Amino acid sequence: MTEQRHKWMSLQLRFVLVTILAVVLGFGSGFGFRVLGERLVERHFMRDDVAVARAETVMDDFEDYAARRHLSAHHVDEIAKWVNHRRYLFFMLLDGDTVLLNCGWLNGEEYFANYQEDGEDAAKNGPEPEDYVLPGEALRTIQFSNGRFQVKIYDFSEVPMYRMIHVLSYMVGALLILTIVVGYHQTVIRKIIQLSQQVEEAARGNVHGEITCTGGDEIGDLARNVSAMRDTVMEVMRAEQEAWNANSDLITRMSHDIRTPLTVLMGFLELLDEGQYSDDEVYLQYLSICRHNAAQLRELADKLFQYFLAFGHRSYEMKPEAVNAKTLLSQMIGEHTILLAEQGWQLRLFPLNRPDELEVQVRVDPVYLKRLFDNLFSNVEKYADFHRPVQVAARLEGEEIHISMKNEVRPHPNRAESTGIGLKTCKRIVQLMGGTFTVRQDRQSFMTDVRLPVWKGEEGTTD
């Protein structure tokens, strides 16, 4: 039978813990990826010399553009158009210390301020690049068609790289979270599929197939319960097969065993009825034969009772009585030991050191209990070694009356008559009375152990 274990963590709690772990690892990995990416950009793309070189390259492009288009400082639309084609760029046009034009991208916003038209108020409200962290700056005096003016260019081409790193960090974190959660669900699903396949194999008739009972969660409990149910079904099937075999064997044997003594009995009864005997001696001889065959029929009837008690499916109604254990055992065991002693058997009786301990009540059916001891002592006569002592002990152990019988096995017993039904009958009788019956046997010895619970009801109560 599969060992039962209690789950130490439910699937729901495990999923919550896995989700928390996935979120922590996801955020940690995303943050780590972001920090690493930003450091790489700062180390290789944002060095002062590299940033200034990018800004100077852009300045070269603008100077070439202004020369080709013959721009003047007043062509602000043309200048703004050139700046807008370069998204992450801030452009300043100056005449000495006077700002003539601000346009482009600065700190995530698009600016366009023409101070030549808007006047001093616009200049006061315009953006101040010095207020921001500026990566790469190029300052150059450029010849326009209406004179020479200063141009400042600030390059922010690292911004898309930072944005891409931020997006990738979120994606890495989300992917790790998704991978852990999906991986956990895949593990659970694989266990369910495996259990489903094993149950399907059992449903197809392969009841001996393995039922994997791993895990301390609901799936593990389900697997163990399915395995236990499978074991129970197999035990029932085994018992049914055993009952069927016993039934077949009984029918075969009884059909022969009953026919022989019954035929003999009927034959001699007819002779007696017709008066076909010569004298009284023959009459008594015929009568003895009839009595012997009647005894055989009674023994066969007892075997039938034992069979139906051992293999029958219905519960036999007992008539239990609360009786004194010492009196009952002295009577039932005593009469058998006396008979055995008269036949020459050696007996060793082990009474209690304090016999008064048996002065307790047991609730049993005396008729069925007598059948129990009849079977036990009958086995002694059939299979025990006549030259070795038979040990019988009765004692109180805790809340149970303990009755044990032990004998040495006959060296060459005739086992042909044994079907094992007698011991099954004993076990069934004891179980019906709320006790336990066990057998210990090896090549040399045979021992039976009967345990009956002490009755805690009112002394002398009967049902």
List C-alpha distances in Å: 69 to 63, 85, 433.
Answer: 10, 16, 116
pLDDT for 4 equals 44
Topology classification of domain 218-311? Helix Hairpins (1.10.287)
pLDDT at residue number 394:
86
Q: Where are the domains of the chain?
A: 11-44+161-203, 48-157, 218-311, 321-453
349: left (phi over 0), alpha (psi -120 to 50) or beta: beta
* Distance of alpha carbon 229 from alpha carbon 1, whole angstroms: 9
Whole-number Å distance between alpha carbons of 323 and 364:
8
463 confidence band (pLDDT: 50, 70, 90): very low
3-state class (DSSP) for residue 457: coil
Asked whether the predicted pLDDT for residue 1 surpasses 60, the reply is no
Bridge-based pairing of strands 321-324 and 436-441 is unpaired
Give kind and range of the element (H or E) at residue 67.
helix 48-69
Question: 207 versus 461: which is more confidently predicted?
Answer: 207
Mean pLDDT on 353-364: 73
340 vs 111, residue with greater confidence: 340
Q: Any idea which of 52-61, 107-116, 346-355, 450-459 has the lowest mean pLDDT? A: 346-355
* CA gap 432, 428 in Å, rounded: 6
At residue 311, the pLDDT reads 57
Which range (48-57, 151-160, 305-314) has the least confidence? 305-314
- CATH C-level class of 321-453: alpha beta
Rounded-to-integer distance, Cα 358 and Cα 351, Å:
10
Residue 191 has pLDDT above 60, yes or no: yes
Reading the block at residue 265, the tokens are 């009995």
Question: Average pLDDT of 311-330?
Answer: 73
**Two tokens, residue 457:** 């009801």
Nearest-CA neighbor of 341 among 410, 392, 289? Answer: 392
Comparing 70-84, 172-186, 279-293, the range with the smallest average pLDDT is 279-293
User: What share of the chain has pLDDT > 90, as a percent?
Assistant: 19
Spatial CA neighbour of 197 closest among 221, 223, 215, 216: 223
Written as six digits, the tokens of 446 are 């045979």
Helix (H) or strand (E) holding 301: helix 280-311
- CB half-sphere exposure, 375, CA atoms < 13 A: 27
- Mean of the pLDDT values across residues 259-281? 78
Average of per-residue pLDDT across 351-380: 78
Contact 449, 398 (CB under 8 A): no
Q: pLDDT tens digits for 368-419?
A: 888 888 888 888 888 888 888 988 888 888 888 888 889 988 876 554 455 5
Instruction: Give the pLDDT score at 59.
Output: 93
Please state which of the ranges 110-119, 180-189, 208-217, 423-432 shows the lowest mean pLDDT: 110-119
Q: What is the rounded average pLDDT of the residues 128-152?
A: 80
Q: Are 379 and 405 in contact (CB under 8 A)?
A: no
User: Which residues lie below 8 Å from residue 333, measured CB to CB, with a gap of 6+?
Assistant: 373, 392, 394, 403
Work out the average pLDDT over 201-226: 76
Give residue 169's pLDDT: 94
At 199, the pLDDT band (50, 70, 90 cuts) reads confident
Residue-level pLDDT at 459: 46
pLDDT tens digits, 64-104: 999 999 999 999 999 999 998 888 899 999 998 888 888 88
| pTM reported for the whole predicted model | 0.48
Q: What is the pLDDT of residues 40-66, one digit of tens each?
A: 988 888 888 888 899 999 999 999 999
With a cut of 70, say whether residue 132 has pLDDT above it. no
Long-range contacts (CB closer than 8 Å, 24 or more residues apart) made by 436-445 = 441/409, 443/409, 444/408, 444/409, 445/406, 445/407, 445/408, 445/409
The distance from CA 11 to its chain's CA centroid, rounded to whole angstroms, is 12
Rounded mean pLDDT of 308-333? 72
Per-chain mean pLDDT for the chain: 80
Residue 458 reports pLDDT greater than 70? no
Residue 319 vs residues 8, 333, 369, 432: alpha-carbon distances, Å: 47, 21, 11, 11
